[in-house]
Amino acid sequence: MHFPSAHKLKVMGLSIGTLGLLSLSSLAVSQTSPANINQLSLAATCANCHGTNGVGVPNAGMPQINHLTPDAMLTQLKAFKSGARSGTIMHQLTKGYTDEQLQTIANVLGKK
Ligand code: HEC
């Protein structure tokens, strides 16, 4: 599998937009290896609705998700994906990610 260079990924990160950029830069990571950047980029796809790092935006009508542990978040994401939990958007959105990607996202955004 071909991994784009870290430089290319940083350029892609810039194009995600301000929220995505904030969440990429404010997550504490010791290294910015291509693998880490990939994980942060996946988690940044949730920031438009759930806020940077899942902290939510007060009174914006979107659920805060960073109070969930990674396990609890993954359980909800898989429930949306399987259809066990219904929603207005999450049941659709989760189908666009592999189970491995959902696990990665839950690990990055879940309560530490
Ligand atoms: C377009 C806006 C949008 C995006 C993007 C989005 N969500 Fe959601 N999310 C929602 C809404 C709205 C709900 C409430 C359930 C519903 O109506 O689908 C929700 C609910 C959730 C819940 C359940 C929270 C709870 O208290 O049980 C989790 C977990 C969650 N989202 C995680 C994510 C993750 C992880 C991503 C990125 C892969 C993501 N969401 C991307 C809008 C969004």
Token look-up 């999450």 returns: 90
Q: What is the mean pLDDT of residues 48-52?
A: 90
What amino acid occupies position 86? S
CB proximity list for 10: less than 8 A, separation 6 or greater: 37
pLDDT in tens, 55-101: 887 788 889 999 999 999 999 999 999 999 999 999 999 999 999 99
What amino acid occupies position 50? H
CA nearest ligand 1 atom 40, residue: 46
CA nearest ligand 1 atom 39, residue: 46
Say if ligand 1 is within 6 A of residue 87 CB: yes
CA nearest ligand 1 atom 16, residue: 87
CA of 8 to the centre of ligand 1 (A): 28
Say if ligand 1 is within 6 A of residue 73 CB: yes
CA nearest ligand 1 atom 5, residue: 46
Query: Is 37 within 8 Å of 4 (Cβ atoms)?
Result: no
Q: What is the mean pLDDT of residues 3-8?
A: 52
The string over 53-69, giving b where at least 16 C-beta atoms fall within 10 Å of a residue's C-beta and e elsewhere, is bbbbeeeeeeeebbebe
